[in-house]
Amino acid sequence: MRLLLCLLLLLPALASADPASYAEREDVRAFVAEMHERNGFDNDELLHLFAQAQSLPVVIKEIQPPAEPGIRSWQLYRSRFVEPRRIRAGAKFWQANKASLARAEAQYGVPREIIVGILGVETIYGKHNGHFQTFSALATLAFDYPPRAALFRGELEALLLLAREEKRAVLDYRGSYAGAIGMPQFLPSSIRQWAVDFDGDGSIDLSSPADAIGSVARFLAEHGWEKGGLILTPAKADGSRIGELLAEGIKPQRTPEQLAAFGVTANDAPPCPAALIDYVTPEVPTSYRLGYNNFYVITRYNRSTFYATAVYELAETVKAHLTPRP
């Protein structure tokens, strides 16, 4: 009797811990109706998929900004990516994929070291592609994370379209907690728009080094990469107007003469537009560089200037590692 009473008391808690299937929710059913109307998906097939999707609280935990943001530190950030393990892995990846890297550079104009830098920062050349079921991760973010629900409903739609185009089971895709897939961590919409079958096997597989290499190169080229263009150059910044310049953002728009009026100078700066980029580290004087068009293009991959600079520095370090010394 006592055991039965305990079980009865536990029932409400157990029920609340087992949320309704996504297929039973009105917002999901409305999404399914939209997918039928807009893309011709079968309602019952989609509801069957959503009945199999799992709500993943860890996904929401991972994507939420920290309650107390950490102190911005370029030196700390850099140490996570420009470090011996990634440098060695980058050199090994470069050697193993020389032909694909050379072909991507010739076809898209993007230096092979930049491609290597991005793949190293993103996943250490496929070592950390992610293990989450992409459909469940995106469903969780699309329907249980209101701040970015619109974005992730769009990615969920893109995943469904991608699976149909690739004749692949939707539930087979695996990736990051945010729904990014493969070695270059493309979201489904980016795969549909930018990814390429660079190894010519008839399908796009972003766990394939060749497809990853070609897809990264195409992404950067389509976002305005200038062959042979500058990326970053060191700069000196003094004066009371530096804050104004930084507030303008990272899109290159100031000539050397205009930058000088703000107290910013750089040795042998070309006449092309640049933006001032700052590198803050606690208890260390802030350093500055000028970012040119190709630096801005890298930030289209990830909006962080720290990210783009880590890609650039890892790229240059791996390249130097492979360059014979005199």
Distance of alpha carbon 72 from alpha carbon 69, whole angstroms? 9
83, 88, 89, 91 alpha-carbon torsion, rounded to 10°: 120
Task: Please give the structure tokens belonging to residue 179.
Answer: 């729904």
CA torsion sign, 136 to 142 to 144 to 147?
positive
Catalytic residue (one of 122, 155, 257, 313) = 122
DSSP string across 215-260:
HHHHHHHHTTPPTT---EEEEEE-STTHHHHHHT-SS--B-HHHHH
* Eight-class DSSP state of 147: G
Which residue(s) pair with 55 in the sheet?
none
Task: Please give the structure tokens belonging to residue 103.
Answer: 């072909």
With beta carbons less than 8 A apart as the criterion, state whether 301 and 240 touch: no
62 a catalytic residue:
no
Between the alpha carbon of residue 116 and those of residues 24, 111, 152, 228, 291, the distances in Å are: 45, 9, 28, 17, 20
Which residue(s) pair with 178 in the sheet?
none
Q: Which residues are catalytic?
A: 122
